[in-house]
Amino acid sequence: MKSVHRISLIFGGARSGKSAFAEQLASKFSEGKQEVLYLATAKAGDAEMQERIAHHRARRPAHWSTLEQSLELGAFIMAHSRADNIILVDCLTVWLSNLLFSEATDFPEVGRITPPAQFAVQRQALLDALIQAPGQIILVSNEVGMGIVPMGAVSRWFVDEAGRLNQVVAAAADNVVWVAAGLPLYFKGQPC
């Protein structure tokens, strides 16, 4: 019998193949019987992002539903997760960036960064949803902390918070996969 991973975290660097792997995993899990709901966190703010979004859309099966939610990820998961569906969230680090810049705030180049008040609320709502949601959830995230330490305070805050978010989601997940050069390495759980 195929093992079921209710929460899967797929992470890796930029253009590592993590999104494609997550999509393959969702297809495998669904076997054409379960609905896959693709939750996109990116906003098409410029031509480059529009191109990235179009690339992702072209790769996904046409019968998957795609919805966008840039801030209230936990509430979205709770509203749409069912025992008979799969939600694929792409991606947590874009969502984290959306939260950080959700208010018109000028962050200092040096010193302490104070995130918007909704940051803590939305982060906790996501973690609560991962525990409470009845369906399968696949989350894609970037690993951004393996390079040089960024110079700006807001960049350092982002790298730190992305690392903390990946850690807490990995702890809640029963399947954690690192993808590099399109190849998966299972840190937690086993291949399906």
Contact 160, 93 (CB under 8 A): no
Tens-digit pLDDT profile for residues 21-61:
999 999 998 886 789 999 999 887 788 877 877 777 788 88
Token code pair at residue 45: 């703010």
Which of 2-11, 62-71, 121-130 is predicted with the least confidence, judged by mean pLDDT?
Answer: 2-11
Residue 53 is given by DSSP the state H
Tens-digit pLDDT profile for residues 74-124:
999 999 999 999 999 999 999 999 999 999 888 989 999 999 999 999 999
- Output the pTM of the full model: 0.92
Active site residues: 56
Tens-digit pLDDT profile for residues 128-148:
999 999 999 999 999 998 888
Domains of the chain and CATH, by start: 7-188 (3.40.50.300)
CA angle 68, 154, 178 (to 5 degrees): 60
Token code pair at residue 142: 């970037």
